[in-house]
Structure 1
């Protein structure tokens, strides 16, 4: 029972984090690469065009992948990079709380990272790779017991 609850809560967490990143990514997507590049450049972020492409890809494609549970560690790292970049380049001067504060950005970045490495069994990663790992682990335990 506990395992199921853990997997459902991991899925709910993934969906919640992904929806927030997706909303921001769709804003950038709708604005277009040029406008997103200009925004990133105005914030003083290095390599503005490459950074804009990275942000749109992580926030749109990565969020869809995160909901489906595919490439979870990669997307989690992408969320952390995007979130911590926003924290340092945009929100840091406003402090932790209040208008423009970085509390939400910090929580989203680190929750995305944590869920990227602990996404639960209700994911394509588990379906495609987790079962093989579990079988290999059981085989190793069985071999160790026989030895």
Structure 2
């Protein structure tokens, strides 16, 4: 089974949104993929996603309320097949933590949605824009699922 890890800074906005959206798409597709999310920092360990993220996702039929923030661990680099950073800063942190033999697993999440002409999912924590984040995450999630389906053939 393919294992996917979505990563942002605190694991309360972008990465749990990606986990929820991708889980929703995978369930609809009837695929068997293990999905999780984590943060590079320990700011919010054990906390649920930001209420604004939950509210925006729920409008689209995606319930994030059961998710809890956690920090990336060394074991994640071995456990997961794809480790997808929401932005370059968190990607660089992951690169610095990741063993050389696992570096091929690291990607920017929006690289799976080249049509967006963006490489980073902006952090809505201070600026807002949770609906826009959902739009970006949905596009990249569809691209990721398409990539996984292509690789499975």
TM-score (normalised: structure 2): 0.28
TM-score (normalised: structure 1): 0.29
The structure where helix makes up a greater share of residues is 1
The structure where strand makes up a greater share of residues is 2
Which of the pair has more CA radius of gyration?
1
